[in-house]
Amino acid sequence: MTSQVSSPAEQADGTVVGEQRQPAGAKDVRRLNRVIIRFAGDSGDGMQLTGDRFTSETASFGNDLSTLPNFPAEIRAPAGTLPGVSSFQLHFADHDILTPGDAPNVLVAMNPAALKANIGDMPRGAEIIVNTDEFTKRAMQKVGYDTSPLEDGSLDGYHLHPVPLTTLTVEALKEFDLTRKEAERSKNMFALGLLSWMYHRPTEGTEKFLKSKFAKKPDIAAANIAAYRAGWNFGETTEDFAVSYEVAPAAKAFPPGTYRNISGNLALAYGLIAASRQADLPLFLGSYPITPASDILHELSRHKNFGVRTFQAEDEIAGIGAALGAAFGGSLAVTTTSGPGVALKSETIGLAVSLELPLLVVDIQRGGPSTGLPTKTEQADLLQAMYGRNGEAPVPVVAPRTPADCFDAALEAARIALTYRTPVFLLSDGYLANGSEPWRIPETGELPDLTVQFAQGPNHTLDDGTEVFWPYKRDPHTLARPWAVPGTPGLEHRIGGIEKQDGTGNISYDPANHDFMVRTRQAKIDGITVPDIEVDDPDRAKTLVLGWGSTYGPITAAVRRLRAAGEAIAQAHLRHLNPFPHNLGDVLKKYDKVVVPEMNLGQLATLVRAKYLVDAESYNQVNGMPFKAEQLATVLKEAIDG
């Protein structure tokens, strides 16, 4: 593998930014195969930006990586408090990795609250870089430190680096015409510079980024770059940091291709645009802002030159209503939301089931019930997606497994919606939405063909020989009804939420017809073609771990650990939750034991137990955070041994 980075760019003012910096080599360099870093600070400290930049540097270096942003729901929680702590964890390696990592090797704590909130996750021996300037008596008391943890011996088990980050930053920027407060704001870039030195990250991308982010404020750009360089130089010169580390590019982890780093929500938005292109239909998004789904609305709104229409509605109901109206008119229609929004949209989803129009319902799941935990992850909307409507209203459900997989999952959801003329749930979650990983950019020729044929003329001959159009006359294979869009002469028809007569679509209250239509709508969904589930079972194991959605990373990491320790365990992961793959029942029956880890109280386990009469065991966590690999490895080991 080679990593191709662009050359430094000369700016209009003659300065060169993006010059690659290299450690001078006076200090020890150690090779590591993987590292987990966590940046933590106040929600106003810019930790998410810092993490994003370190991630970009790492991606362009060619490591495999996985990220976990974790931030409060409040925009600016009270400064210096535990609820106000925002963090960003990044795991990067010279090999293929699957999770943001269990236990950080390095913590950057910008204040006492950040230290207190995160120290519990740090293993003994880990490196902890603290901004000593913020460890004032008052700030420490605010979070319950009676004595300074930097001095009372409580951090003796760690490799502590006390660094006056604020002072050093202000000092580095004294040549700039900035107030002290303005200068202090660059301390996150100082920290980023220091960490970039420690791990030999490429620096040119960040310098370019700062230059363009503050293009209208060149002084601020220059100050941030100066702080960033000062952080790097501090690492290079200070004796406290005696060692720097190399993590080689993940040469074998990636098939050939062009890569970029991508978050789940961005990948999902790109997937929707790609689906619209592949279907040759205009994309229409009807949406109401809600965490953690709003980024998709933002992203799609930037791409109107793809013929994308985004409609920020007055509420969740209008968001899906407008999307359904656009679907009637022949658009690829999408609504994006999170759990509480799905609850509001339920009646319209039911209408879409009855109208049999294509519609994508994207649910970026978050902690529930009710408002719950808006910025934390959970998988507890599965049963809502399956059953949360009045009447028998089956809806296909598709779930991505990693951030980059959100792209493919969006295309797959669109395929089902367009082929079968049905609303489809796309169940992502907060962890996938905000987490990121490398994505091999597909060639456009690799994308699936999603073209659809609108109805063009009559599809039925009456007994008297008259040619007519019947809106509910179905394709015999897919059971999909024709999609006749307004503007097509001769196909004028009326559809609605009242039960329809088979074929004609006219209102019908006939009992036998209703029974038939209910069963037909169910049969259409049950008959959707989905690929068989693949089982990874190299050792003929007796225990199978079955997952769905974003638990793929931690489950797979746990499975690898167990196999490395000589255990036999099989793994299968569901993308299609409705209908299930045809072979799922047979797969489950082959194993003595089936374990289903979920970030809910056992919703998939309930479904497979009901459908296949399998004694699936649930393992559940609903703390707003993804599983840790070690935790799952322990649980699965117990299952194997039990």
Distance CA 138, CA 53 (A): 31
577 and 525 Cβ atoms separated by less than 8 Å: no
Q: Which residues within the stretch 342-361 sit at the binding site for another protein (CB under 8 A)?
A: 347-348, 350-351, 355
Distance CA 518, CA 531 (A): 25
- The DSSP code sequence of 575-608 is SEEESPPTTHHHHHHT-SEEEEEESSSSHHHHHH
**What count of residues does the chain have?**
642
| CA 113 to each of CA 77, 143, 376, 586: distance values in angstroms, whole numbers, following the listed order | 12, 6, 19, 51
How many binding residues for another protein (CB under 8 A)? 74
Stretch in the footprint of another protein (CB under 8 A) among 85-93, 216-224, 297-305, 557-565: 297-305
In degrees rounded to 5, what are phi and psi of residue 169? -65, -50
Should residue 362 be labelled a site residue for another protein when binding is judged by CB under 8 A? Answer: no
In the stretch 242-261, what mask flags binding to another protein with x, by CB under 8 A? ------------xxxxxxxx
- Work out how close the CB of 77 gets to another protein at its nearest, in angstroms, rounded to a whole number: 30
Should residue 90 be labelled a site residue for another protein when binding is judged by CB under 8 A? Answer: no
Distance CA 322, CA 320 (A): 5
Count other Cβ atoms within 10 Å, centred on residue 480: 18
Stretch in the footprint of another protein (CB under 8 A) among 315-323, 428-436, 557-565, 599-607: 315-323
Should residue 323 be labelled a site residue for another protein when binding is judged by CB under 8 A? Answer: yes
E strand or H helix that includes residue 287: strand 283-287
DSSP state of 503: B
Should residue 232 be labelled a site residue for another protein when binding is judged by CB under 8 A? Answer: no
Output 130 or 491, the one with its CB closest to another protein.
491
Candidate residues 68, 109, 198, 322; the one interacting with another protein per rule CB under 8 A: 322
Should residue 563 be labelled a site residue for another protein when binding is judged by CB under 8 A? Answer: no
Q: Which residues within the stretch 456-495 sit at the binding site for another protein (CB under 8 A)?
A: 486-495
Q: Which residues within the stretch 428-457 sit at the binding site for another protein (CB under 8 A)?
A: 441-444
- Work out how close the CB of 526 gets to another protein at its nearest, in angstroms, rounded to a whole number: 25
Stretch in the footprint of another protein (CB under 8 A) among 22-30, 35-43, 267-275, 619-627: 267-275
* R_g of the chain computed on alpha carbons: 27
Output 222 or 283, the one with its CB closest to another protein.
283
Output 23 or 307, the one with its CB closest to another protein.
307
DSSP state of 486: T
104 and 39 Cβ atoms separated by less than 8 Å: no
- Work out how close the CB of 435 gets to another protein at its nearest, in angstroms, rounded to a whole number: 17
Stretch in the footprint of another protein (CB under 8 A) among 44-52, 150-158, 311-319, 623-631: 311-319
Stretch in the footprint of another protein (CB under 8 A) among 105-113, 317-325, 449-457, 583-591: 317-325
Should residue 92 be labelled a site residue for another protein when binding is judged by CB under 8 A? Answer: no
E strand or H helix that includes residue 212: helix 204-213
Output 299 or 378, the one with its CB closest to another protein.
299
356 and 327 Cβ atoms separated by less than 8 Å: no
DSSP state of 88: E
- Work out how close the CB of 521 gets to another protein at its nearest, in angstroms, rounded to a whole number: 17
Look-up of token digits 């690799």:
446
Stretch in the footprint of another protein (CB under 8 A) among 132-140, 188-196, 280-288, 421-429: 280-288
Should residue 314 be labelled a site residue for another protein when binding is judged by CB under 8 A? Answer: yes
Q: 556-562 long-range CB contacts below 8 Å, 24 or more apart?
A: 556/98, 557/97, 557/98, 557/99, 557/629, 557/632, 557/633, 558/627, 558/629, 558/630, 558/631, 558/632, 558/633, 558/635, 558/636, 559/636, 560/98, 561/629, 561/630, 561/633, 562/633, 562/636, 562/637, 562/640
Output 74 or 314, the one with its CB closest to another protein.
314
Distance CA 66, CA 436 (A): 6
In the stretch 157-196, what mask flags binding to another protein with x, by CB under 8 A? ----------------------------------------
- Work out how close the CB of 265 gets to another protein at its nearest, in angstroms, rounded to a whole number: 15
Stretch in the footprint of another protein (CB under 8 A) among 32-40, 74-82, 304-312, 377-385: 304-312
Should residue 8 be labelled a site residue for another protein when binding is judged by CB under 8 A? Answer: no
**Omega before residue 162 within 30° of 0, cis:** no
Angle, vertex CA 165, rays to CA 181 and CA 78, nearest 5: 55
Q: Which residues within the stretch 501-520 sit at the binding site for another protein (CB under 8 A)?
A: 506-507
Output 122 or 317, the one with its CB closest to another protein.
317
Candidate residues 51, 62, 80, 394; the one interacting with another protein per rule CB under 8 A: 62
